[in-house]
């Protein structure tokens, strides 16, 4: 019998780990290896450790669940802390590039904060994804240091997040190097 890919998956411990990432990998392996519902439940339970295992064991009703999706939902409720809308909105509204913050750090911060605010459920619906990307670009430009933002608007570099990020990184690097000389 061929070795299962599940052996390459790190068990989920709970705590600060990313449950979404773990369960996406788990589901991909289950689909690829064509697992039954019962096998998915069993293998998932076997891949819980530490806090996640304690949560399972301390809730007898979870042990009795015979639907994989129901078990996943209970684990998500426990281990996927979704920020509330007001907190996500506050973080989004307060985004500004800090004096020593790099363009790449700002881009990452804008991207993750915008996702929490605009698409907290990670929808893959085209309209939501497009709206979120446009919002990221708009917020990225708005959050830039004023001197860089003026240059970007003057040059008309507002296309999409990836292109804007690349061009703004080059502009920022150029400005910093020309100030040094």
Q: Are residues 17 and 90 in the same domain?
A: no
Q: Are residues 43 and 93 in the same domain?
A: no
Segments of the chain with pLDDT less than 50: 1, 180-181
Indicate the pTM of the whole model.
0.47
- CA distances to 96, 102, 145, 146, 167 from 99, in Å: 9, 9, 8, 11, 19
Q: What are phi and psi of 12, to 5 degrees?
A: -85, 125
Q: Could you read off the pLDDT of 79-105 as tens digits, one per residue?
A: 876 667 788 888 889 999 988 888 888
Residue range(s) defining the domain that contains residue 101: 85-178
Per-residue confidence (pLDDT) for residue 181, from 0 to 100: 42
- Half-sphere exposure for 69 (CA within 13 Å, toward CB): 0
Asked if 72 contacts 25 with a C-beta cutoff of 8 angstroms, the reply is: no
Q: Are residues 109 and 126 in the same domain?
A: yes
Per-residue confidence (pLDDT) for residue 1, from 0 to 100: 45
Nearest in space to 63 (alpha carbons), one of 90, 41, 34: 41
């Amino acid at each position: 019998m061929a070795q299962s890919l599940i052996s390459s998956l790190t068990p989920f411990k709970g705590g600060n780990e990313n449950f979404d990432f773990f369960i996406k990998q788990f589901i991909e392996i289950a689909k690829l290896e064509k697992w039954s519902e019962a096998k998915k439940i069993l293998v998932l339970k076997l891949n819980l450790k530490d806090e996640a295992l304690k949560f399972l064991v301390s809730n007898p009703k979870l042990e009795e669940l015979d639907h994989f999706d129901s078990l996943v939902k209970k684990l998500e409720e426990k281990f996927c802390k979704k920020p509330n809308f007001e907190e996500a909105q506050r973080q989004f509204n307060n985004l500004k590039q800090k004096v020593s913050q790099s363009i790449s750090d700002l881009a990452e911060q804008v991207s993750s904060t915008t996702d929490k605010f605009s698409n907290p459920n990670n929808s893959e619906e085209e309209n939501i994804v497009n709206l979120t990307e446009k919002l990221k670009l708009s917020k990225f430009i708005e959050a830039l240091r004023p001197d860089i933002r003026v240059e970007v608007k003057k040059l008309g570099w507002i296309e999409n997040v990836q292109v804007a990020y690349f061009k703004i990184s080059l502009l920022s690097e150029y400005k910093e190097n020309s100030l040094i000389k």
